Amino acid sequence: MSSFPMNAGDGPYSYSKNSPLAKEALNGAKRMVRDAIIQNLDIKIMLSSSSNIICIADFGCSVGPNTFIAMQHVVQALKDKYHNKILEFQVFFNDHVTNDFNTLFRSLPIDRSYYAFGVPGTFHGRLFPSRSIHFAHSINSIHWLSKCPEELLDEKSPAWNKGLIHYMGTSNVEVLNAYVAQFEKDMEMLLNARAEEIVEGGMMVLVTPFESYLRLIKFFGSSLMDLVNEGKLDEFLVDSFNLPMYFPSPEDMTKVVEKNGCFNIEKVELTYPKSKLVDEADAKTIMINLRAILEGVLSNHFGCKIAEEACTRTILKSDEISIWMKANYERSCQLFIALKRK
């Protein structure tokens, strides 16, 4: 199983310093996460236990600081809901074993009101004992596929994705189908694992980008094709590369959850983050953020030099991207889904 950690450390292109898109998603979901906890969470185990421990997990936490902000919101909502109880909180920060947990741990808030743990491993498999998690959270993570769909790696397959790095923009339905099939397999594994781990009445909230990323990724693809056209990169390498990301629709999510059968869907909604990111930050900031997200997966396929060249070129196109964004970015949105364990 592949893993593509965000850029590590705290350097100029590190994820820890460059995550306004995740912060935007976080702000967009803040109220909805709180409402889900206040209105839908229904954990009975607490009433019978002498020590009232609530276990929260953030799946695909990366290195912070957004995960700390998100977990503080969750803890506060739980405190407000159960204000007449004395609670203790355990927060489990999960990401791939290749994630930079050292940076995560060293930036944990000093004044946190929870016990903090790191959990290395893929969220497509089991990470916790049975019935041990009360609230699961995942933001901007489940759209990462566990691997590139295999059909896309075969030049002779009808799903060969010529000249593109993603299903966005293709007219080949086989390419899209391969992505959908991989997403469904991954979600089946994820839901099976969480169904074991989450207590009855416990919840899982998933937030995933719906349009925004799709629209900006293409600029990285066109930078790579520029390198092909200049004779600096073999086109086969671009054709055989496919970003392992699928942006599910509400219908996609409903389908996989219903197939799994262990969760009730409390809410599934496309939302428009209210932040003024486009006004406040320029295109360059956003493209540097995307670079922090994508450079790892690009380096893995193209090597560090080409990945860096493609990223640098994409950031240099900021003016062009800025004009495009002002015309298009308003329509970016995210998918919010709240599930309750039956």
Site residues (CB under 8 A) for a second copy? 50-51, 53, 88-90, 92, 97-98, 100-102, 105-106, 108, 115-121, 126-132
Residue among 117 and 272 whose Cβ is closer to a second copy: 117
Label residue 142 exposed, middle or buried (CB < 10 Å: 0-12, 13-18, 19+): buried
Residue among 51 and 84 whose Cβ is closer to a second copy: 51
Minimum CB distance to a second copy, residue 4 (Å): 16
Residue among 53 and 281 whose Cβ is closer to a second copy: 53
Residue among 124 and 166 whose Cβ is closer to a second copy: 124
Minimum CB distance to a second copy, residue 308 (Å): 23
d(C-alpha 213, C-alpha 27), whole Å: 17
Question: Which H helix or E strand runs over 326?
Answer: helix 318-328
169 Ramachandran zone, left/alpha/beta (phi>0; psi -120 to 50): left
d(C-alpha 69, C-alpha 100), whole Å: 18
d(C-alpha 221, C-alpha 242), whole Å: 10
User: Strands 263-271 and 334-341, how do they pair?
Assistant: antiparallel
Q: Of 53, 253, 46, 299, which Cα lies nearest the Cα of 138? A: 253
Q: Of 189, 171, 183, which Cα lies nearest the Cα of 208? A: 183
Residue among 14 and 254 whose Cβ is closer to a second copy: 14
Distances (CA, A) of 252 to 187, 210, 227, 248: 10, 12, 35, 6
Minimum CB distance to a second copy, residue 128 (Å): 6
Q: How far apart are the first and last CA of the chain?
A: 30
Minimum CB distance to a second copy, residue 338 (Å): 24
Minimum CB distance to a second copy, residue 262 (Å): 16
Residue among 8 and 164 whose Cβ is closer to a second copy: 8
Minimum CB distance to a second copy, residue 67 (Å): 14
Amino acid at 157: S
DSSP3 helix / strand / coil % (the chain, rounded to 5) = 45, 15, 35
Q: Of 158, 147, 213, which Cα lies nearest the Cα of 185? A: 147
Residue among 39 and 102 whose Cβ is closer to a second copy: 102
d(C-alpha 226, C-alpha 150), whole Å: 26
Minimum CB distance to a second copy, residue 282 (Å): 34
Residue among 88 and 154 whose Cβ is closer to a second copy: 88
Minimum CB distance to a second copy, residue 329 (Å): 36
